[in-house]
């Protein structure tokens, strides 16, 4: 790792900071409950680039990583367009003031669709953990001092993916979890040449970065169908892992596989890479099969095996190839980024309670956030959508927050401390009443 250096980020204050104190933080890519939801309320529903914006921070480069918030600290993974480096950034939540901006490694991207700063950081309130598709994994204390660093590719072998690795780290049960579900044979010159590349779940000690255990995760999937860009999701003391044509649950104490459900790829196709993470609620785990295939709901009550399918979606309208669904207020919300629709589903039966047409031309690849009775998400251009989470579909507002050159925004909107945190290609907006 290169020595740490600090680069100034411009911060424009456009409003006063609220005097109210809110308890909720956003500590993981999918929020405090690992399902995209937050208990926050009294959030703004009427804003623009200047209205109800507390501050705007300029960022050095694009990233799909979601802002992570703990108290008065915001943590952001980022690229730097000027230096073509990867950055770990901390901002003051109340003002947007730069606290530190540390260089992690040289690099920007390896394909035209994404960059190396797609994984979101995470925090336990003592340290912030930054992870990049280069394999660089670094822990900082809240002052920006490096606590430990390692590179997962150097320690366990190169990532073997058609595109760019993008799984985010998960903090749970006092451990830091890293998921690598990849091809067993090399692709584009990446991968081991003399032995198969293993897929695995890795647990590290957050204090030191040392390995606690590494558990291999085998699969019968072939070629690209072995690849998953999903993230481990805790649910009722287990870790849910989706990819390689299967959903598995693992014991966080040792990685042992507790059960396995297969398969959403009954025809054994070789191009079924998986992007969405699983989401669970009301004892149902929802898995989004790729390539416009159905949703599959696995019943988690009692023993789970291949007979535990509760329901699957019908027809060709309801699917999600990229956004991870939301569980909020006892319902699943599925954002179809290709057809530009949002669907509310009853978990136990799969009953579609409504499907709403979002309109517009731009695709959606960010995942929806639920809070204050509303659903928040943005499209490629940075148009932020607010949808009522209630009994009927009601598109409340579409608010343009992106810049003219934004055309592939993927960052999920964070909710914390009474504010929305909206990341565009070059800015972070703190929106609040």
Query: How many other CB atoms sit within 10 Å of the CB of residue 100?
Result: 17
Which residues, in sequence order, are CB contacts of 266 under 8 Å at separation 6+? none
- In the chain, where are the structural domains located? 11-431
- SS3 call for 224: helix
Yes or no: say if 76 and 69 are a contact pair by the CB < 8 Å rule.
Answer: no
Tell me how crowded residue 112 is: count the other CB atoms within 10 A of its CB: 9
- Residue 15 is predicted with a pLDDT of 39
Contacts of 418 (CB under 8 A, 6+ apart): 18, 20, 22, 40, 42, 43, 432, 433
For residue 225, report the phi and psi dihedrals to the nearest 5 degrees: -65, -15
78 to each of 55, 59, 115, 162, 380, how far by Cα in Å? Answer: 19, 8, 9, 22, 17
CA distance 374 to 45: 9
Pick the CATH number of 11-431 from 3.10.180.10, 3.40.640.10, 2.130.10.10, 3.40.50.1220: 2.130.10.10
For residues 371 and 147, give the distance between their C-alpha atoms in angstroms, rounded to a whole number: 34
DSSP code for 152: H
Cis before 320? omega within 30: no
User: Token pair of 18, please?
Assistant: 């609220």
| 3-state class (DSSP) for residue 307 | coil
How far apart CA 266 and CA 269 sit, in angstroms, is: 8
* CB-based contact 285:312 (threshold 8 Å): no
| 124 torsion bin: left (phi>0), alpha (psi -120 to 50), beta (else) | alpha
C-alpha 179/C-alpha 200 separation (Å) is: 6
- pLDDT in 10s for each residue of the chain, 433 residues: 444 433 344 444 443 333 333 458 999 999 999 999 999 999 999 999 999 999 999 999 999 999 999 999 999 999 999 999 999 999 999 999 999 999 999 998 888 778 999 999 999 999 999 999 999 999 999 999 999 999 999 999 999 999 999 999 999 999 999 999 999 999 998 988 888 899 999 999 999 999 999 999 999 999 999 999 999 999 999 999 999 999 999 999 999 999 999 988 988 999 999 999 999 999 999 999 998 899 999 999 999 999 999 999 988 889 999 999 999 999 999 999 999 999 999 999 999 999 999 999 999 999 999 999 999 999 999 999 999 999 999 999 999 999 999 999 999 999 999 999 999 999 999 999 8
Three-state DSSP state, 342: strand
The predicted structure's pLDDT at residue 292: 87
Specify whether the CB–CB gap between 136 and 149 falls below 8 A: yes
C-alpha distances in angstroms, 267 versus 223, 271, 278?
14, 11, 21
- pLDDT value, residue 6: 39
Closest CA to 162 of 199, 110, 217: 110
Please, what is the Cα angle at 250 between 245 and 251, to 5 degrees? 175
What is the enclosing helix (H) or strand (E) of 344? strand 341-345
Alpha helix segments (H runs only) across 213-342: none
Find tokens 């960052």 and name the residue. Answer: 411
Asked if residues 224 and 216 have their Cβ atoms less than 8 Å apart, the reply is: no
Cα gap 119→419, rounded to integer Å: 22
CA atoms within 13 A on the CB side of 211: 12
Helices and strands counted in the chain (H then E): 1, 33
Dihedral angle over CA of 305, 309, 315, 321, nearest 10: -50
């Amino acid at each position: 790792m290169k020595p740490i250096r600090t680069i100034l980020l411009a911060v424009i204050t456009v409003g006063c900071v609220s005097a109210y104190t809110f308890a909720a933080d956003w500590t993981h890519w999918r929020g405090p409950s690992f399902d995209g939801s937050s208990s926050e309320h009294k959030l703004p529903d009427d804003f623009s680039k200047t209205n109800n914006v507390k501050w705007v921070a300029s960022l050095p480069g694009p990233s799909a990583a979601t802002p992570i918030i703990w108290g008065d600290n915001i943590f952001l993974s980022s690229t730097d367009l000027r230096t073509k480096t990867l950055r770990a950034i901390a901002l003051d939540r109340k003002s947007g003031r730069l606290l530190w901006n540390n260089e992690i490694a040289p690099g920007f991207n390896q394909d035209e669709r994404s960059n190396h700063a797609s994984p979101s950081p995470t925090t336990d309130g003592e340290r912030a953990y930054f992870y990049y598709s280069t394999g660089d994994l670094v822990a900082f204390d809240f002052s920006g001092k490096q606590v430990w660093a390692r590179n997962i590719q150097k320690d366990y072998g190169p990532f073997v993916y058609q595109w760019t690795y993008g799984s985010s780290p998960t903090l749970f049960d006092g451990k830091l979890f890293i998921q690598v579900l990849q091809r067993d044979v090399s692709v584009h010159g990446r991968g081991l040449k003399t032995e198969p590349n293993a897929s695995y779940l890795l647990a590290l000690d957050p204090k030191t970065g040392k390995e606690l255990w590494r558990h291999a995760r085998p699969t019968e999937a072939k070629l690209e169908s072995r690849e998953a860009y999903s993230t481990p999701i805790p649910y009722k003391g287990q870790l849910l892992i989706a990819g390689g044509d299967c959903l598995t649950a693992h014991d966080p104490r040792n990685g042992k596989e507790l059960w396995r459900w297969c398969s959403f790829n009954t025809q054994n196709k070789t191009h079924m890479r998986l992007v969405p993470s699983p989401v669970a609620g009301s004892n149902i785990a929802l898995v989004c099969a790729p390539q416009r295939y159905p949703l599959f709901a696995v019943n988690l009550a009692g023993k789970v095996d291949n007979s535990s399918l509760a329901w699957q979606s019908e027809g060709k309208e309801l699917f999600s190839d990229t956004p991870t669904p939301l569980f909020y207020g006892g319902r699943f919300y599925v954002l179809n980024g290709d057809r530009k629709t949002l669907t509310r589903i009853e978990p136990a039966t799969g009953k579609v309670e409504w499907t709403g047409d979002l309109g517009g031309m731009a695709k959606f690849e960010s995942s929806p956030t639920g809070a204050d009775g509303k659903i928040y998400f943005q499209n490629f251009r940075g148009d932020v959508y607010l949808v009522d989470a209630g009994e009927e579909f009601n598109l409340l507002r579409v608010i343009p927050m992106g810049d003219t050159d934004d055309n592939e925004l993927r960052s999920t909107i964070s909710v914390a401390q009474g504010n929305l945190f909206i990341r565009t290609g070059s800015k972070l907006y703190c929106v609040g009443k």
